[in-house]
Amino acid sequence: MENEKNEGIKEFGTTRLSDKKSGSGIELFTIIGEIEGHEVLSGSTKATKYEHLLPKLAQAEEDEDVEGILILLNTLGGDVEAGLAIAEMIASLSKPTVSLVLGGSHSIGGPLAVSADYSFIVPTGTMTIHPVRSTGMFIGVIQSYRNMEKTQDRIIRFIAEHSKISQERLMELMLDPTQLVKDVGTMLEGEEAVREGLIDEVGGVRHAFEKLREMIREEKNNDMKSK
């Protein structure tokens, strides 16, 4: 069993935690490094592979022993489509979910951080909000610009729907020319991310576990009342 846990952490960044305090089964997911999409990143790059994470999330949803999910994030961002796919998957889970931003959750890490039912960020954690950028070949025609604009709208809409920040304020932060050198966007530290309504609360792993246990207890009580 211990070998299986170690292998799960090594290969997929996931593991089942035995929560003696609440008697709950909590599944831990990590989103670390760059979000890898359809193109394979170099072997020296820390990456989260969406083709690994999506099946594990589906498995957790169907596993009766899993009663809550904790997601730890420390990512620079990465592939937009893959990141949004993971975020939509997390947001659609029926089980209580809590996210915790550690070092940072930048770029497409924003939707990932807010996709959980409740979100935390450590005091020194950071989040960078900026417009969608292109990588690789970019055809400089109006159609390409519109496609990027539509992708950006999807990200803004998702973040606004899963947090307390408005779409208008999010756009302001994305287009701020004063914060990033030779670029537009905004970097928010822990308290700032909470004040802007992007993240629910400043806290660490202890607070994340306490909140998740509370949510699991509430769900169990609601299930008992409905029977």
* Catalytic (active-site) positions: 107, 130
Angle at the Cα of 57 from the Cα atoms of 53 and 60, rounded to 5 degrees: 140
Phi first, then psi, for residue 45 (nearest 5°) are -95, 125
**Are the C-beta atoms of 45 and 60 separated by less than 8 Å?**
no
- Which amino acid is present at 103? G
The residues, ordered by sequence, that sit 6+ positions from 149 with a Cβ below 8 Å of its Cβ are: none
Q: Which residue reads 């408005």 in tokens?
A: 166
Q: Do strands 47-49 and 24-36 pair parallel, antiparallel, or not at all (unpaired)?
A: parallel
User: In this structure, what token pair is assigned to residue 59?
Assistant: 């498995």
Q: Using CA atoms, how far apart are residues 93 and 68, in angstroms rounded to an integer?
A: 10
